[in-house]
Structure 1
Amino acid sequence: MGKISALSVLLLFFAAMFIVGCAPKYPGVPEKYHAGLDEALQAAGENRVELEMALNEIPDSQKSGMAFLIVNMPQRDLEELSAGFLKANIEYAYKARASFPWTMALPDSVFFNEVLPYASLNEHRDNWREKFFNLFYPYVKDVVDIRAAIDSVNQNIANIVNVEYNTNREKPDQSPFESMKQNMASCSGLSILLTDAFRAVGIPSRIAGTASWHDDRGNHSWNEVLVDGQWYFTEYYPSGLNKSWFLSDAGKADKNNPKYAVWASSFKKTGDPFPLVWDMSIKYVPAVNVTDRYVRLYQEQQKSKVASGELVELEIIMLKNDKCSLVGDDRMAVNVDVFKAEEQVGGGRTSGPTQDLNDFLTLFVDKNATYTFRYTNAKGEIVNVDKTIEEDPLQVRLYMSVEE
């Protein structure tokens, strides 16, 4: 009897070892994430327990999404994010997926990278998902078309969150709640707000931007949304999909120069960093080079408008003063912004004295309209010059008020 008992115990021991050996390492998580999870959890250090709780305490149907986040999150998040934060984000992201037809139709690859992430850039990690779902749900709950949903969020966000563009904001990379507390944000802060609002109601969105326009006139950030497999751009203050003042600048971007390229943010690691102009040492925000699409869009729109006769060519020249001519060193390289009423429709840098005499800052604008040309003169004064453009091409001469 004793021998039988000992044998039984031994068999039970080996059976248990076999079961343990065959048990999945991460139950409910696809094999493709296992190696990445091993590495991420090791890198998390003492915060590993929080990430494991986040992964283990959610339904199996959500574990692929959580694994995607953990595998791709930057080191700061591996060390800091709590299980509660991650579980709340997952819960309401999947709630959006179950609530809206456009989100239901998304493949996991898009849902994981453009809806599920809790952050876009390097902003503070706010737990915004539930609040934004409740804020924006009433504006899209009866909508069945993603374009209408995008338009509804885009048209209403400023009134909903009560945030406007203002350079007096505390910092450029504000989180949603930081911007809402101040009621102001930069273009980057506004872009973060809008992408989070889109994601809250299941609309795939990411941030796009450039470290510098082609003529070193400054940087800019905006938003992109995915519709029927195609990316479109928009902004916090919308003009419509793929319509904005900055296309004439983005259309001249240089994909081979990281400074002048157009980048789109990604949560999934890409090997390329998004250019965070407020701190270029930060390299942990992944990005995709999307310059070609903006160049193509700009060229297509220009060809279409010129062919239809809608546009007229406008050349802009900056001279030292009204006594100067185009010859010699009288031309000056200066940033000029062009407005039609309150909307900026273009801009650029005028040609300086060393550039070819036939090299002008050239724009194509609507006929029969009045435009304001805004620049800062040699005295540091902001100058606004109004010109009416009719049917024929026009050369506009501006003056820096340089005394000689």
Structure 2
Amino acid sequence: MVRFTALAISTLSIGISDAAQTSCASDEVQFAEGCVSRTSAYQSAYDFLYSNLPSWDKTNKQSLGFHDSVTPDTDGLDDGIATLGLNISLDAQQKFSWAWDLPQDIYQEYVATYAHVNEARVDWRPIITTATSTILDNAPSTTDLSTVEDVVSYINSQMWHTETSGLINNVTFKSSQTPLIYDPMSTLVYGYASCTGVSILFADALKSVGIAARVSGTPAWNGAYENGNHNWIEVYLPETGEWAFMEAAPAGGGETLSNPCDKWFCSPTKMANGTQFFSSRFDSNSGVAYPMAWDLENLEVPGDDRTAYYQDACNKC
């Protein structure tokens, strides 16, 4: 397997000038463990992605940017959304102080990854990075962006409107769209998606600024598929080492990461009869499958079983 070298400098602007100063050199990336050379960080993330590709991505690995041999780079044919996106994610990791406390393994699985579940593989990162950069660049000077929760809340309040994000459409919630519309580019083009689509778009926006995020949800309320399913996101909080959850604003406004009970679905009624909950992963050795309500026979998407966490948190509401 050929490991391609990280780009030294990205041509993509990634937003605000951070007042905090990293102790790492310009060719290094800061993680919770310390400074790592950008080349090493790139190759470690490349290896993680390559070794955990689902079967459909293994078939298309060269289109994603993974190559087993060196071939002439003709007219961009060696480029791929996974590897180009990986370079952009390293730019964000170098740039934003709120990302510096991320453990490297969390960065690799929840920031550097190019997809969450089995959504279409699209080149979302340049477009969404430009949008989140616009949002952060235009934030009023009084805006507090000192913590991960601050940044998550602010981006969630701004990214769904063209006048604040610069994206091609406003994005609204429209039920029953998955699996027709749930990859981030389709959501942007149509201007709507249901809970899965807006959750993926929201998580990708956070990943574009160095915040670890993943899709979470239940395939069946109260253990009955006829009761429907739901998706939202979880965000990794470096200060606690824990995951907190909220919905994308089009699906549920006025929510925070700090209060589980401000979500409409976090209640004993929704927990009844053993509702199960899962979060998506990329590590194929997780030992758990993420159940997709739109593709229940597909067990290739890894996951975390989060049932105990949600049952405990939401039965207290």
- Give the TM-score range, shorter chain: 0.7 to 0.9
Q: In 1, Cα distance between the equivalents of 2:313 and 2:176?
A: 33
* Counterpart selection for 1:96 from 92, 108, 118: 92
Aligned counterparts, 1:353-392, within 5 A:
none
Deviation per residue, 1:337-378 (Å, 9 max, x gap) = xxxxxxxxxxxxxxxxxxxxxxxxxxxxxxxxxxxxxxxxxx
Residue 66 (1) aligns with residue 46 (2): yes
Q: In 2, Cα distance between the equivalents of 1:253 and 1:99?
A: 46
Aligned in 2, Cα 1:194/1:253: closer, same or farther, shift over 3 Å?
farther
Aligned in 2, Cα 1:279/1:292: closer, same or farther, shift over 3 Å?
same
Q: Which amino acid aligns with 2:280?
A: S
Q: In 2, Cα distance between the equivalents of 1:56 and 1:120?
A: 23
Q: In 2, Cα distance between the equivalents of 1:131 and 1:180?
A: 10
Residue 165 (1) aligns with residue 181 (2): no
For 1:112, the equivalent position in structure 2 comes to 108
Shift of 1:281: 1.6
Q: In 1, Cα distance between the equivalents of 2:190 and 2:222?
A: 32
Residue 291 (1) aligns with residue 239 (2): no
* Counterpart selection for 2:291 from 275, 278, 286: 275
CA contact (8 A) 1:250 1:294 kept: no
Q: In 1, Cα distance between the equivalents of 2:125 and 2:198?
A: 16
Using the size of structure 1 for normalisation, the TM-score is 0.57
Q: In 1, Cα distance between the equivalents of 2:178 and 2:292?
A: 16
* Counterpart selection for 2:276 from 240, 252, 261: 261
* Counterpart selection for 1:218 from 197, 218, 228: 228
What secondary structure sits across from 2:315 in the alignment?
Answer: helix
What secondary structure sits across from 2:159 in the alignment?
Answer: helix
Residue 231 (1) aligns with residue 235 (2): no
Q: Which amino acid aligns with 1:171?
A: P
Shift of 1:272: 1.6
Aligned counterparts, 1:37-186, within 5 A:
52-53=1-2, 55-58=3-6, 59-81=39-61, 82=63, 83=65, 84-85=79-80, 86-140=82-136, 143-159=145-161, 160=165, 161=167, 162-167=170-175, 169=177, 171-172=179-180, 174-186=182-194
Q: In 2, Cα distance between the equivalents of 1:262 and 1:293?
A: 9
Shift of 1:218: 1.1
What secondary structure sits across from 1:158 in the alignment?
Answer: coil
Shift of 1:66: 0.6
CA contact (8 A) 1:166 1:185 kept: yes
Deviation per residue, 1:311-336 (Å, 9 max, x gap) = xxxxxxxxxxxxxxxxxxxxxxxxxx
Shift of 1:253: 6.3
CA contact (8 A) 1:96 1:200 kept: yes
For 1:14, the equivalent position in structure 2 comes to none
What residue ranges of structure 2 are gaps of 5+ in the alignment? 7-38, 66-78, 140-144
Q: Which amino acid aligns with 2:304?
A: V
What secondary structure sits across from 1:281 in the alignment?
Answer: coil
Q: In 1, Cα distance between the equivalents of 2:181 and 2:106?
A: 25
For 2:74, the equivalent position in structure 1 comes to none
Q: Which amino acid aligns with 1:212?
A: A
CA contact (8 A) 1:158 1:164 kept: yes
What secondary structure sits across from 1:56 in the alignment?
Answer: coil
Q: In 1, Cα distance between the equivalents of 2:92 and 2:273?
A: 35
Q: Which has the higher contact order (CA 8 A, sep 6+)?
A: 2
Deviation per residue, 1:19-69 (Å, 9 max, x gap) = xxxxxxxxxxxxxxxxxxxxxxxxxxxxxxxxx45x233333310011011
Total equivalences in the alignment? 244
Shift of 1:78: 1.7
CA contact (8 A) 2:223 2:276 kept: no
Shift of 1:206: 0.5
Identity of aligned residues (%): 26
For 1:358, the equivalent position in structure 2 comes to none
Shift of 1:252: 3.5
CA contact (8 A) 1:250 1:295 kept: no
For 1:20, the equivalent position in structure 2 comes to none
Using the size of structure 2 for normalisation, the TM-score is 0.72
Q: Quick check: which one's strand share is greater? A: 1
Shift of 1:250: 5.0
Residue 247 (1) aligns with residue 266 (2): yes
Q: In 1, Cα distance between the equivalents of 2:176 and 2:104?
A: 40
Q: Which amino acid aligns with 2:288?
A: D
Q: CA RMSD in A?
A: 1.9
CA contact (8 A) 1:265 1:286 kept: yes
